[in-house]
Amino acid sequence: MNTPYPLKIHNFVQLMSTDYIFYVAFGGAIGSILRALISFLLPFQLSSFSWGTFLVNMIGCFLIGWLWVKLENPALKAFLVTGLLGGLTTFSGLGLELFRYFNEKSYFLFATYALVSVFIGIFLVWFGQKLAA
């Protein structure tokens, strides 16, 4: 099995094994700790571009593209892609920060942050896959 995705009914039990759950949880814990550290080092401020969330999301976009092509081991994919990158990156954080910019009428930062995050994120997924191929 190259990847646990797309999920099929017949491999659901295998996918949700104790080992798989451990890999996702352990990777998620590490990713979440890294995310908290980056948030501490680069905190969100209404007066400036949100570099902390932007950087973790862009790094995550690149890595998910690269790892998805390079990794064949489902356990390693569970640990790194689902777990670590799932804990590190944060679309919900992006949404909250965009809302806060908009709510404070910081329309330029709102538009810039939204467009740059989406387009560079998509580009980095593509770039990560190209480098991995």
Q: What is the pLDDT of residues 92-126, one digit of tens each?
A: 778 889 999 999 999 999 999 999 999 999 999 99
Low-confidence stretches of the chain (pLDDT < 50) are: 1
Report how far residue 115's alpha carbon sits from residue 60's, in angstroms, rounded to the nearest whole number. 17
Predicted local distance difference test score (pLDDT) of residue 16 = 74
Predicted local distance difference test score (pLDDT) of residue 96 = 80
Report how far residue 4's alpha carbon sits from residue 77's, in angstroms, rounded to the nearest whole number. 8
Helix (H) and strand (E) counts for the chain?
A: 7, 0
| Cis preceding linkage at 6, omega within 30 | yes
Report how far residue 133's alpha carbon sits from residue 123's, in angstroms, rounded to the nearest whole number. 15
